[in-house]
Amino acid sequence: MFDDFDGQAWSNDQGNRAQKLFAAVVLAALDDAIADDKKYGNGPDVIARWARSRDGREVLMCAGIDPTERCVTGLMEFVKKGVRTSVALSREESERRAAA
């Protein structure tokens, strides 16, 4: 009886790990687009093209993100701000934004 629960818990944990892995891929794609924006000035176009592509939609879905046009617009706006994901996710940055 407990073996069924252990198996189900293991499967759920594996699914959560996979979702986090795909979320990390999305963050890496955002960082790459920000780097392209600083270097070539086409970062929002790059992330939009990736998010609308077949592979991009698949990665977004696996990360638990609905690949809609609203999502693509949000990704483009994030890239336009030019703040790296590691900085944007840091506690200091969120405190600074809250103070401003």
pLDDT in tens, 32-46: 999 999 999 999 999
Is the Cα dihedral 24, 28, 29, 33 positive or negative? positive
pLDDT, one tens digit per residue, over 57-96 is 999 999 999 999 999 999 999 999 999 999 888 887 778 7
Cα 22 from Cα 48, distance rounded (Å): 17
Ordered by start, the domain boundaries in the chain are 2-99
Angstrom distances, CA of residue 48 to CA of 15, 19, 66, 100 = 27, 21, 14, 29
The whole-number pLDDT of residue 1 equals: 47
pTM of the model: 0.84
